[in-house]
Amino acid sequence: MGKNVLLGVCGGIACYKAVEVASRLRKKGVDVTVIMTKSATQFVTPLTFQEITGNPVSVDMWDKVQHWDVAHISLARKADFALIVPATANILGKLAAGIADDMLSTTLLAVTKAIYLAPSMNTNMYLNPIVQRNLKLLSSLPNYHIIKPASGHLACGVEGVGRLPEPAEIVEQLEKDQLAEESLAGKTVLVTAGGTREAIDPVRYIGNRSSGKMGYAIAAEAVRRGARTILVSGPVALAAPAGAEVSKIETAREMKELSERFFPQADITIMAAAVADYRVENPAPLKIKKEQEALLVHLVKNPDILAGLGKIKKEGQVLVGFAAETHDLLAFARQKLVKKNLDMIVANDVGRKDAGFNVDTNAANLISKDGKIEEIPLMSKSEMAKVILRRAEALLSK
Ligand code: PMT
Going by the DSSP 8-state scheme, the letter that residue 206 receives in this structure is E
Kindly give the number of the ligand 1 atom that is closest to the alpha carbon of 333.
Answer: 21
Please state, in angstroms and rounded to a whole number, the distance separating the CA atoms of residues 99 and 37: 14
Contact predicate 201/52, CB 8 Å: no
219-235 tens-digit pLDDT: 999 998 999 999 999 99
Please tell me the residue having the least CA distance from ligand 1 atom 10. Answer: 272
Cα–Cα distance, 22 to 32 (Å, whole number): 7
Please tell me the number of Cα atoms within 13 Å of 245 on its side-chain side. Answer: 11
Residues 351 and 299: their CA atoms lie apart, in Å, by: 25
Q: Which position among 65, 73, 156, 300 bears the catalytic label?
A: 156
The reply to whether ligand 1 has any atom less than 6 angstroms from the CB of 279 is no
Residues in the chain: 398
Cα radius of gyration (the chain): 24
Characterize 250-283 residue by residue with b for buried, 16 or more Cβ atoms within 10 angstroms of its Cβ, and e for exposed. Answer: bbbbbbbebbeebbeebbbbbbbbbbbeebbeeb
Strand-pair category, 245-248 with 228-233? parallel
CA of 323 to the centre of ligand 1 (A): 6
Q: Is 195 in the pocket of ligand 1 (CB under 6 A)?
A: no
Q: Is 72 in the pocket of ligand 1 (CB under 6 A)?
A: no
Is the CB of residue 10 below 6 angstroms from any atom belonging to ligand 1? no
Alpha carbons 365 and 60: distance in angstroms, whole number: 47
d(C-alpha 338, C-alpha 16), whole Å: 53
Q: How far is the CA of 169 from the centre of ligand 1 (A)?
A: 35
For 81-107, the pLDDT digits (tens) are 999 999 999 999 999 999 999 999 999
Ligand 1: nearest atom to the Cα of 340: 26
Atom 36 of ligand 1 has which residue's CA nearest to it?
Answer: 304
Cβ of 357 closer than 6 Å to ligand 1, yes or no, is yes
Residue 113 near residue 79 (C-beta atoms within 8 A): yes
CA 212 to chain centroid: 12
- Distance in angstroms (rounded) separating the CA atoms of residues 297 and 290: 14
Question: Assign residue 265 a region: left if phi > 0, alpha if psi is -120 to 50, beta otherwise?
Answer: alpha
- Torsion, Cα 152 154 159 161, to 10 degrees, reads -60
Nearest atom, ligand 1, residue 273 CA:
30
Q: Is 309 in the pocket of ligand 1 (CB under 6 A)?
A: no
Amino acid identity of residue 33, one-letter, is: T
Calculate how far, in angstroms, residue 276's C-alpha sits from the geometric centre of ligand 1.
9
Instruction: For residue 2, count other CB atoms closer than 10 A to its CB.
Output: 7
**Quick one: which atom of ligand 1 is closest to the CA of 277?**
36
Closest residue CA from atom 23 of ligand 1: 323
Whether 146 lines ligand 1, by a CB cut-off of 6 Å, is no
Closest protein CA for atom 21 of ligand 1: 323
Q: Are 122 and 46 in contact (CB under 8 A)?
A: no
Separation of first and last alpha carbons in the chain: 26
Q: Give me the residues paired with residue 163 across strands.
A: 150
Q: What is the DSSP letter of 265?
A: G
Q: What is the pLDDT of residue 64?
A: 62
Taking the CB of residue 109, how many other CB atoms lie within 10 A of it?
14
Would you say 130 and 93 are in contact if contact means Cβ atoms under 8 Å apart?
A: yes
Tell how far CA 120 is from the center of its chain.
23
Name the residue at shortest CA distance from atom 27 of ligand 1.
322
Q: Of all protein residues, whose CA lies closest to atom 14 belonging to ligand 1?
A: 272
Please indicate whether residue 260, judged by its CB atom, sits closer than 6 Å to ligand 1: no
With a cut of 70, list the residues of the chain below it in pLDDT.
1, 64-72
pLDDT of residue 71: 62
Helices (H) and strands (E) in the chain, counts: 13, 19
Torsion of CA 320, 322, 327, 332, to 10 degrees: -40
State if residue 222 touches ligand 1 by the CB under 6 angstroms criterion.
no
**Residue 267 in contact with residue 318, Cβ under 8 Å?**
yes
CA 189, CA 250: separation in Å to the nearest integer? 21
Strand partners, 301: 278
CA 333 to centroid of ligand 1, rounded, Å: 11
- How far is it, in rounded angstroms, from Cα 92 to Cα 109? 12
Q: Which of 280, 278, 251 is nearest to 192 (CA)?
A: 251
Annotation marks residue 10 as catalytic = no
